[in-house]
Amino acid sequence: MPHHRGMTDATTPLKDRPLETGEDLRSLIELLLDRASRRQMWLMFIDDRGCLGDPLMPMDDYPDDPTVMTRTDDLGEVDHATLLMHRIGMLREMTGNAAVVLVWERLGSSVVGVEDREWSRAMLDAAAALDVPLRAQFVLHNRGVRALHLGDLT
């Protein structure tokens, strides 16, 4: 079985580096995004090889509260988290990627705040309900990147 060098191999292009662990993902996010500069959510995809897929998309206009209801022609009345995850799932399918990674960028420390918890928990629930493969979520803060784990969401 070939040995994957993952994120430690600087000679392999970023798009071809296997993201086998949470630390591989965290290192890639830190390399690509560095530090927080404003409130926005980054949508990343993992391709069928387990490497970074296209596109990498920032979104800076997501609502403050994921539970607020909104109406759409195709889904009817749903909360913002469900609407956003539905659209993310559609993008994943259209781009042929295997999984989704969300990065919540915001100014502040690495401490998981109320908004981090509310959005990440709501997106985790929406992904499960809509069968969207959400591989991981991270917070991009003033000093770097922090992985969000289930214990952070309660």
DSSP letters spanning 141-153: ETTEEEEE-GGGG
- The CATH number assigned to the domain holding 143 equals 3.40.140.10
Strands 69-72 and 76-79: antiparallel
Total domain count, the chain: 1
Confidence of residue 148 (pLDDT cuts 50, 70, 90): very high
Q: Is residue 12 part of a domain?
A: no
Percent of the chain residues past pLDDT 90, beyond the cut:
88
Q: Is residue 7 part of a domain?
A: no
φ, ψ of residue 102 in degrees (nearest 5)? -110, 135
Q: Is residue 87 part of a domain?
A: yes
- Alpha helix (H) ranges present in 15-147? 22-33, 80-95, 114-130
Mean pLDDT confidence for 86-98 = 98
Q: Is residue 80 part of a domain?
A: yes
Domain span including residue 81: 24-153
Q: Is residue 140 part of a domain?
A: yes
95/63 Cα distance (integer angstroms): 25
**pLDDT for 76:** 98
**pLDDT for 151:** 85
What's the mean pLDDT when you consider all of the chain?
93
